[in-house]
Copies of this chain bind each other. A is one copy, B any other.
Amino acid sequence: MVSAAVDGARLLSRLDSFAAIGGLANGGVDRPAFSPADRQARSLIADLARARGFSVAQDSIANLFIRRGAEIGAPLLIGSHLDSQPTGGRFDGALGTLAAFEVLEALEDRSVRTETPVELVVWSNEEGSRFAPGAMGSRAFAAGVMPAGAERDSNGAELRVAIAETRAALAGAVERPLGFPIAGYLELHIEQGPILEKAGLPIGIVEGIQGTTWLAVTMTGESSHAGTTPRDSRRDAAAALVSALGRLQDAIMPGDPAARFTAGRLVSKPDSINVVARQASCTLDLRHPQPERLAAIDAQIRAVLSEAAISHGCSLDIELLLAASPAVFNADLVAAVETAAERLQLPSQRIVSGAFHDALSISAIAPSAMIFVPCRGGISHNEREFVEPEHVVAGAAVLLGATIDAAHRLARRGPGASN
């Protein structure tokens, strides 16, 4: 067993330094993708890398790579992202990136040579809040091409120019092709949900990322007088919609604890107190870790909506806005994470990520896994985001152990093995 240990104080101090870049008065950060603050954060990690003798590289979408010395061959990537939401937290992305840097330093401190080369990655534009879609860097890496999306931000700045400026700011970085061969991917991230905190556990062994279906639902009936129109003459679009949504709310999540079902937007027209609604719309966000359950609940949603439409004399339109299949992480890498937590005697549970991460894209091309640490109240994408220092250090320690173990496991895999 290789011996190495993270330096918790070094990591916590680094988190403070990076939180100051684009830092907000109350501890949050504003570090949009390809912004001056994002460039400053990238420059700082590149400077830290060079100071340790690590080499720095980037690809055409400005994904940033840091490797120890002259290790060659397809690497195990470890990392996350450094961009943030406009009023984001200091841990989302930065924790996984700086913990990965701490892993490189811990390995370097003890001159550990892993069986598979280990390389840090800082994915570009994970948040997607300035330029959609999110996970842009990892999507591009996995696909080998730029994803289609917004060409300008809300101020008119061009994505193409913003990427070029970001790449130019990292003078002297080695050029890498988009989507070079990798052996695997490990990412530490805050949970962004309440499960670990509620369970009192410092570590989540992430088995995968749940699938997501986004629907836009519109019921169309007919306006009529709220006082004079009897039930059987009504074509009440709002009644049809709420009747169906009420049934679905009472059925989906109470009937399946792994399901997530959210009607986030509700709108009615003509939006008048004494007029039966002609049209009522909502959006639906459905998530489930199992593709067959995702499909079954999707079918249930459509059936209940259709029944309500018929019962209220309305027509129904359902638009599919997004369909993302669940990602199931690689069993070997998940086992490496679990073994690392066990060796450190850190209590853990297996968990499925509710949120998207760069690991979702990368899991399509290489064995991948993630580690979660709890965040206070499950709050993220918010300046109030907070992770206990002991959980920061625990997460980095598990990432270190899992990296060494995964590097060993990956070295024994033949080429073309399943992801």
Q: CB < 8 Å: which of B193, B227, B241 contacts A212?
A: B227
Q: Taking the complex as formed, is A260 at the interface, i.e. its CB lies under 8 A from any CB of chain B?
A: yes
A354 touches B225 (CB 8 A): yes
Q: Taking the complex as formed, is A271 at the interface, i.e. its CB lies under 8 A from any CB of chain B?
A: yes
Q: Chain A's interface: helix, strand, loop or mixed, by majority?
A: mixed
Bound Cα distance A34, B244 (Å): 46
Interface string of A4-38 (1 = CB under 8 A from B): 00000000000000000000000000000000000
Q: How many copies does the complex hold?
A: 2
Known: A195-B230, A243-B249, A266-B267. A225 touches B378 (CB 8 A): yes
Q: CB < 8 Å: which of B225, B233, B356 contacts A198?
A: B233
A242 touches B231 (CB 8 A): no
Bound Cα distance A246, B241 (Å): 8
Q: Taking the complex as formed, is A264 at the interface, i.e. its CB lies under 8 A from any CB of chain B?
A: yes
A377 to chain B, nearest CB (A): 9
Smallest CB gap from A210: residue in B: B227
Residues of chain A touching chain B, judged by Cβ–Cβ distance below 8 Å, are: 191-195, 198, 210, 212, 214, 224-231, 233, 236, 238-239, 241-247, 249-250, 253-254, 257, 260, 262-268, 271-277, 280, 283, 285, 287, 321, 353-356, 378, 380-381
Q: Can you list 14 A-B pairs, Cβ within 8 angstroms, ordered by A? A: A191-B228, A195-B230, A212-B227, A224-B378, A227-B354, A228-B353, A230-B253, A233-B378, A238-B263, A239-B263, A264-B274, A264-B277, A265-B272, A273-B285
Apart from A194-B229, A273-B285, A274-B285: 18 A-B pairs, beta carbons within 8 A: A193-B227, A193-B229, A194-B230, A195-B230, A198-B233, A210-B227, A214-B273, A225-B380, A227-B354, A230-B260, A243-B245, A243-B249, A246-B249, A263-B277, A264-B273, A265-B268, A265-B272, A266-B277
